[in-house]
A and B are shown apart, each in its own frame.
Chain A
């Protein structure tokens, strides 16, 4: 197993997956709403890298038709690159919506700490359980 193979394998597979799991660790351990959102974004970043990595071809060049190209040229797979754009746009929309939710949660509970928000919600539910539209 050559060093080049190990590096390539790390870059396209294990590296992105490590980033995904760092994000997952953040979601599971953080109590601050903004830190949870950042962790979700870290996960998204990892998966986007993974998508690009899937299209990796050894010694491949960008799949753009330029002067002097021959049929012997090897290209990287362009499909995952197209897919990653959609994934980025979707994660942007979800992040924007999440930030809106965080602002609304802060306005209602005056806190960004998820445990304290749950405590306050339980107090609200016990005092006045329904229909605060």
Chain B
């Protein structure tokens, strides 16, 4: 049993990657086949993730380690799954599986190059899983590059408009990957190993050296984790994105990048200057919320909102102590809420906020779930987002970080404003053209509905969040 468990983490990466290379062959058999292959792989990955999460819960495991070729680190590459990372893998792979339904059956989802898109999709699945599990710094770089290339393929396959967004993204990621390599090799020159959790770490290095390395990692991972000032690509990429692409960028790739940056910062003790990183994180939060408020396209609004959430999480992580305990639960709730929002938006099928006028009548269920997701993200009572947000704010206040507390509170106000602006347009704006707004049931609206019920259940019975919180505190990252 244990032996089998130790073997399966690699499957989450190897299977999607292998099938990504086989897609051209499947295309020769049938043009529609690549789409179904993606759904099949997503189902396979979700099953493995559920199996691993259950093994942690039922068997009382602490850690699963897989060493490629049985070479122990630092001689070989190690994939590690803890309880926290198993939860991330579970959530990411489940969302990818649900996204698979949109990929096949969403009528609004039309891409230029379907088969290229399938390769990009599978590459994104493999790299996001590998980034969460890998313990080898150079391996993280390689999967970071695979994630980048997959993201570029996805953005390019979207629409003709996507070329400019992709080029913009390419420049940011090219700079990011150069800084990532410099950082990794500098760590290697100090530690003499690429193993992330080696007993030798930068804890013994000079403060200035650690600061420079920390900044290099921040720049490198900040592009995909959407940390300011590396976010100039957001309006171009999200503005031309389809349902599946926006989700891949906002929930899947951003989550794995942010998670891996937390892992590197913890393992190598990179938080040498709390003030400097806090300034970056809070600027990310503030600029993200203001840009989201000013955007006229819902996809861009929630793209910037996602940037702001990365800022909050990074700030809480940097503050450490009691505040840091809330990072992981808040991370989960944000992922869940963002998924609900994006699924709902793409069911409604209207991206310009000004054109939302009363369109809730077109899709009642998705309009309702958009409200649930949006309000949960804003931290409204009775929804899951409330408990984690209030817990985090209380911890920040009691730890005497009053400036951080005020900035997060002020930014939350902007968040509430733009979410209410969207909901007001959707529900209360007079339309005048009632004829076209007949309700038609969409099977895909059941996906955000199920997720919304989970958010609602967690909001009404916060004991589940507390239980999860206690379990998460036991395991390492």
Contact = CB atoms under 8 A, between A and B. Distances in A.
Given A33-B167, A105-B164, A47 B182 contact: yes
Given A23-B178, A94-B148, 19 more contacts: A17-B182, A27-B175, A40-B171, A43-B174, A51-B185, A54-B186, A54-B189, A80-B188, A83-B138, A86-B142, A90-B142, A90-B145, A94-B174, A101-B170, A104-B156, A104-B163, A132-B159, A133-B111, A133-B159
A94 B170 contact: yes
A108 B163 contact: yes
Interface of A: 17, 20, 23-24, 27, 33, 36, 40, 43-44, 46-47, 50-51, 54, 79-80, 83, 86-87, 90, 93-94, 97-98, 101-102, 104-105, 108, 117-118, 121, 124, 129-133
Contact of B178 (A47, A102, A132): A47
A98 B142 contact: no
Contacts of B156: 101, 104
A-B complex: 8 closest residue pairs judged by Cβ atoms = A40-B174, A54-B185, A43-B178, A54-B189, A90-B145, A104-B163, A47-B178, A47-B181
Given A86-B138, A105-B163, A105-B164, A50 B182 contact: yes
B149 interface: yes
**What band does the interface of chain B fall in when counting residues whose beta carbon is under 8 Å from A?**
20 to 34
A50 B12 CA distance: 33
A24 B174 CA distance: 10
A5 B359 CA distance: 71
A109 to B, nearest CB: 8
Contact of B175 (A17, A24, A51): A24
Interface of B: 110-112, 138, 142, 145, 148-149, 152, 156, 159-161, 163-164, 166-167, 170-171, 174-175, 177-178, 181-182, 185-186, 188-189, 194, 351-352
B237 to A, nearest CB: 13
A124 B161 CA distance: 9
A3 B377 CA distance: 60
A81 to B, nearest CB: 12
B397 to A, nearest CB: 41
25 contacts: A20-B178, A27-B171, A33-B167, A40-B171, A40-B175, A50-B181, A50-B182, A51-B185, A54-B185, A80-B185, A83-B185, A90-B177, A94-B145, A94-B148, A94-B170, A94-B174, A97-B149, A97-B170, A98-B170, A101-B170, A108-B163, A121-B164, A131-B110, A133-B110, A133-B159
A47 B181 CA distance: 7
A102 to B, nearest CB: 8
A20 B159 contact: no
A20 B178 CA distance: 8
A104 B183 CA distance: 33
Contacts of A104: 156, 163
A115 to B, nearest CB: 12
A20 B182 contact: yes
B461 to A, nearest CB: 42
Contacts of B145: 90, 94
Nearest to A95: B174
Contacts of A51: 181, 185
B148 to A, nearest CB: 8
